[in-house]
Amino acid sequence: MPELQPSLDERDGPRDECGVFGIYAPEHDVSRLAYFGLFALQHRGQESAGIAAADRGGYIITQRALGLVNQVFKEHDLRALAGDLAIGHVRYSTTGSNEWENSQPVHRSAGQGGGNRELALAHNGNLINAVELHAELRAQGVQFTSTSDSEIIAALLSTHPADRIEDAAAEVVPRLKGAFSTVAMVRDRVIAFRDPAGLRPLVLGQLGDRYCVASESCAFDIIGATYLRDVQPGEMVTLSEKGISSRQLVEGEREAFCVFEYIYFARPDSRMNGTLLQAARGRMGEILAREAPAPDADLVIAVPDSGNAAARGFARAAGLPQDDGLIKNRYVARTFIQPGQELRKHGLRMKFNPLPEIVGGRKLVVVDDSIVRGNTTRQIVQMLRDAGAAEVHMRISAPPIKHPCHYGIDMSSREEMIAHGRTPEEVAAELGADSLAYLSLEGVYEAVRGDRARHCDACFSGEYPLAGTHDAQSKDAFELPLAKV
Ligand code: SF4
């Protein structure tokens, strides 16, 4: 299959990570449920998709390819993947590592490179000790077929001598450092575990008397399953014929759930730690209006869709009218055709189209959820001015992003971040906006009703919650020669 490269980025925001799904449900069409679970998680990764499935006791069959979920799987593929249990994965990868070999689930056979058991594994996160573990396994003669750190976890579990996968995981998981929400399957069970800080999300659901796991609860809604709870940091759950069992594998020094999941990554209809994200994002807008009012403005518009909920909250709290001043082409991330020279000059019009009748002559508050490099925002400000806006006041429902993420999110380098080394006034000038203000970190925690001591906000604060990660360290130091998922 040719390598697919989207011609247009969805936005210049941080790139999301990956999505995982797992289910044990012999009475159901598990590969179809995995397909639709992944379909709901598509926003977490658009570069590759894969499903592994097995009959109890039979071989594990894995299919994965570059592309979107609906490009990778056709009806006959799902029939070939029939079984009693399945896991799945959607992937976003950094540039240059978008090869088929790095798509997931990773599949290792019994006997492969000293393997003790056949397994398939899907992972969301980033190991910060991947290089050391990789070297150690290579020295033992373990072979790798990819450059992804997920294969390291798979190899550690596959080569471990314990009879039961759960006992192997109990010894392997304490050796992993970094972020890992992981789903793995052997022939008769699915296990799912989360790093001791709980950096990336992982939730547990129920379908009849069977169980499933996913990165986000929106994957349960689509298959008719019920969200039960979050898998706890350091916890492993087993889904098998016996139902569900749980084991605490490791206690972390502190929890550090990614606060950016609430702001941007996760779907607004997902629940995290019991909070519906659409509601939390609305509160971010309300608090932003309180912290950074725009007294002269007369209309609030969102940068769709990322700013929608916060814009509504801002308008509500400010007592200002709200309208759609920009229309977004919802299918923009799905074109793999390059626009070419003639169309390139229209730039962002591929993504957003301003409505002069709505924005003309108005003093706008324009709400978005984050700015990383600022290229998109700069073009939006210009586009709104060209459409006749009298003033453009940017309001961002997150603090300024100034530091890279070492836990599975592809941010730009610090030097590329527009807020790095600039005051909000200087950023406003760079963007051509009349004013710019950000939500405070305190405002974020008020909106998510969360405790800062149990979250990660390192990309805003520079305070990295895990020992061994700090801003001065190059992110490449952790990742080379391994790709991130
Ligand atoms: S650095 Fe930012 S994006 Fe990365 S885990 Fe922490 S809060 Fe999330």
Pocket of ligand 1, candidates 195, 257, 258: which has the most ligand atoms within 8 Å of its Cβ, to mutate?
Answer: 258
CA of 261 to the centre of ligand 1 (A): 8
DSSP letters along 147-190, please? SBHHHHHHHHHHH---SSHHHHHHHHGGG--EEEEEEEEETTEE
Which ligand 1 atom is the nearest neighbour of the CA of 258? 8
Instruction: Give strand pairing partners of 365.
Output: 300, 393
* Domain 18-256 -> CATH class: alpha beta
Please give the CATH number for the structural domain made up of 276-449: 3.40.50.2020
Tell me how far apart the alpha carbons of residues 409 and 255 are, in angstroms, rounded to a whole number.
18
Q: Is 409 in the pocket of ligand 1 (CB under 6 A)?
A: yes
Amino acid identity for residue 330 in this structure: R
202: left (phi over 0), alpha (psi -120 to 50) or beta: beta
Q: Is 407 in the pocket of ligand 1 (CB under 6 A)?
A: yes
**If you take atom 5 of ligand 1, which residue's CA is the nearest one?**
258
Q: Is 60 in the pocket of ligand 1 (CB under 6 A)?
A: no
- Which one of the listed residues 18, 258, 405, 456 is annotated catalytic? 18
Classified as helix, coil or strand, 108 is: strand
Q: Residue 115 pLDDT more than 80?
A: no
Intervals of CATH 3.40.50.2020 along the chain: 276-449
pLDDT digits 0-9 by tens, 11-35:
455 555 799 999 999 999 999 999 9
Q: Residue 257 pLDDT more than 90?
A: yes
Residue 391: pLDDT band (50, 70, 90) is very high
**If you take atom 2 of ligand 1, which residue's CA is the nearest one?**
459
CA of 295 to the centre of ligand 1 (A): 32
Please give the share of the chain, as a percent, with pLDDT higher than 70.
87
Q: Is 18 a catalytic residue?
A: yes
Say if residues 365 and 299 touch (Cβ distance below 8 Å): yes
CA of 405 to the centre of ligand 1 (A): 5
Q: What global pTM score does this model have?
A: 0.90
Structure-block tokens of residue 263: 């702001």
CA of 459 to the centre of ligand 1 (A): 5
pLDDT digits 0-9 by tens, 295-311:
989 999 999 988 999 99
Q: Is 258 in the pocket of ligand 1 (CB under 6 A)?
A: yes
Pocket of ligand 1, candidates 126, 180, 405, 471: which has the most ligand atoms within 8 Å of its Cβ, to mutate?
Answer: 405
Range of lowest pLDDT (130-139, 244-253, 323-332): 323-332
